[in-house]
Chain A
């Protein structure tokens, strides 16, 4: 756990290769992450419905749905979720699709563990910064707006709770 990440990273790994999920999960837990494992697209989406994640590592091809569909459905629940796309298939058509759907990065199997770990931290930081920026923008909008002080206090309190709760 790096000093600038006070909270442990909440990670979801979705891959139908059980050995991979098990051992990758184990190693990342040792690095201080909170890891949830899913072996299918449905499991991944239902996990996203129950828990909030910073980053999801998703295989491009899952047995029940494509990685792209999984991203779309999880994003519908958690708009700020950052995704790293994993694939054993190097066709750049898939890379193109992933890029289009704003996967944070696209990673070919077999990956380098350290690179993957770094990328997860990077993605989590990216997510935090994006959210912080959004919070500040909204707060700023609120302050410069024509709303009453009472409303401002109520709204800002709500925003702060949302941000801090996350």
Chain B
């Protein structure tokens, strides 16, 4: 081995010699050199360079150039230090064939060292490159991406397992073939164009399109890398991603988006046109918007109110401010039966619901205020409560009346008995006693009658709960009512004139309630007639049919109703009769019953001359009885 190497000797001193020795010693094998001698001209047997030379086993370490002459097979002497005298001597003394390199040897050695180092690096690179290639192939085979390699003719060279699965082919069928085999109808033209462009431009390109794969349209995204070896285009890598689902999702998203837009538009319209009061405010409670419901109910136009504080709408701005602060703090706040004031200073009762809307930064952006106008509902509720209370009062009143009527009958009967006895056998008593007893019994009768009037009215006030709609014959009902009041009619010597239309159909209504109406009205007429004893009483009852409504008119020639009272006459507890005679219940019952049956009652009267009550009843009863806004207690 050592025989093949070029034997060299180094001559010099100090640092330069030391550098050259270390530079060559570590690379001598690669350079096929063997350093056989080191001549240190510095004459220092303990110099670092001699130590170094000894440590690496240089056979000859000397201080004299002459020692070199004896070395067999020495090919080259390198002068490490720039010592011209020594060089000249050496050249003169050395055998003719032995070359000696002077100061230029440094440059040569340095060049050699660099060459070797570069070579080493190259080898390391090549190792790394091999590893990278290996990894790349591993990646290509196992990656969840479809990858193929094509040559410059765009014939397949390789397809990774994922690509084979995606395209539904075996590698053997495809290698060496073009896309035409895979997409016979030219369904991949766009891909070939972009592949050509990749080869031509030597750039990585991206494209997306549709491939007809396994009889289905597949949306794909393709990335193409050119393969360039030693500056020559060898082919390309292709990376296919199945984006069908992505595209579908995108489409769905787009559709959903469009629907969302539609919905938003719809919602905006709903909010805008809602009958409810809806407005937005900024966090300082200034109005930002005002919908048409708000305009309608509150009377302000959008333009005049937007930008002003919202609490001006509220009857108690302080309460609104507190509610607003609560919504700002908690996200939501509600208030029931609050009072708003319209532009015309009218009161509107609303339920308020405030909701905070936050911006992307989490800070309150605006507040939505939705208010429902419950003024009417509240009024209806109050009416309902009132009519329920009335019903309860009536129930109790009738119970009380019943309990009173029985003892009253006994008292009156006994008083009558005493009166009769006084008449028959009272002569034994002093005339004055007779007189006072007579008067006492008279008053007793009178007082009983007074109570009777009240209890009978109270009984009439009961709204019979078990009523029902049935076929009604008007004439029969009127006769029945007159029959019930037969005694009163005869006693008041009232002449009843019946002017009944003979083409009246039967109709569906509540006969018990209607009878109560008729009895009350007839009784009312008799009471009015009794007030004018000097005139023979006449009650005319007239029935007609008019536009699907039955009309019954009761006209009497009694005392009449003062004009001021004609409006209030149907109010509960309002009476025009002399004190102690009326209870103010009868006509309000008439009104309530007819309202319930979908009918109506009107009054016309000439005070002192006549009164006319006109009752109208529909031939077809209402489906649900309307609420009564006019009852007042």
A17-B406, A19-B410, A109-B409 are contacts. A91–B420 as well, Cβ < 8 Å? Answer: no
Tell whether A10 is near chain B: CB-to-CB under 8 Å.
no
A27 touches B420 (CB 8 A): yes
Interface size for chain A: under 10, 10 to 19, 20 to 34, or 35 or more residues? Answer: 20 to 34
A93 to chain B: which residues have CB within 8 Å? 464, 466, 512
Whether A91 contacts B410 by the Cβ 8 Å rule is: no
Instruction: Decide: A113 near B462, CB < 8 A? Known: A90-B401, A92-B519.
Output: no
Cβ contacts A76-118/B at 8 Å (1 or 0 each): 0000000000001111110110010000011011111101000
**CB–CB A112/B487 < 8 A:** yes
- In the complex, chain B residues whose CB is within 8 Å of the CB of A88: 401-406, 409
* Partner-B contacts on A (CB < 8 A): 17, 19-20, 23-24, 26-27, 30, 88-93, 95-96, 99, 105-106, 108-113, 115, 119
Q: Are A113 and B412 in contact (CB under 8 A)?
A: yes
Q: Quick one: given A20-B410, A23-B414, A113-B412, are A91 and B398 in contact (CB under 8 Å)? A: yes
CA distance A26 to B491 in the complex (A): 25
B511 partner residues in chain A, CB cutoff 8 A: 96
Contact with A26, one of B417, B466, B480 (Cβ below 8 angstroms): B417
In the complex formed, the residue of A with least CB distance to B515 is: A92
Chain B positions within 8 Å of A95 at CB level: 484, 515
CA–CA, A30 to B425, complex, Å?
A: 13
Q: Are B486 and A108 within 8 A (Cβ)? A: no
Contact with A along B426-470 (1 / 0, CB 8 A): 000000000000000000000010001000100110101010000
- Flag if B466 contacts A110 (CB, 8 Å): no
Q: Does B416 contact A (CB under 8 A)?
A: yes
For A26, the chain B residues whose CB sits under 8 A away are 417
Nearest CB in chain A: distance from B428 CB, A: 19
A93 to chain B, nearest CB (A): 5
For residue B93, give the distance in angstroms from its CB to the closest CB of chain A.
Answer: 161
B516 in the interface (beta carbon within 8 A): yes
B94 within 8 Å of A by Cβ? Answer: no
CB A85 to nearest CB in B, in angstroms, measures: 11
- B600 CB, nearest partner CB in chain A, Å: 21
CA distance A109 to B408 in the complex (A): 8
Q: Which of A30, A90, A92 contacts B512 (CB 8 A)?
A: A92
Question: Chain A nearest CB: distance from B519 CB in Å?
Answer: 7
- A118 CB to nearest chain B CB (Å): 8
Cβ-defined contact, A89 with B487, below 8 A = no
* A19 CA / B516 CA spacing, docked (Å): 31
Q: Which residue of B lies closest to A108 (CB)?
A: B456
Return B577 CB to nearest CB of chain A, in Å: 19
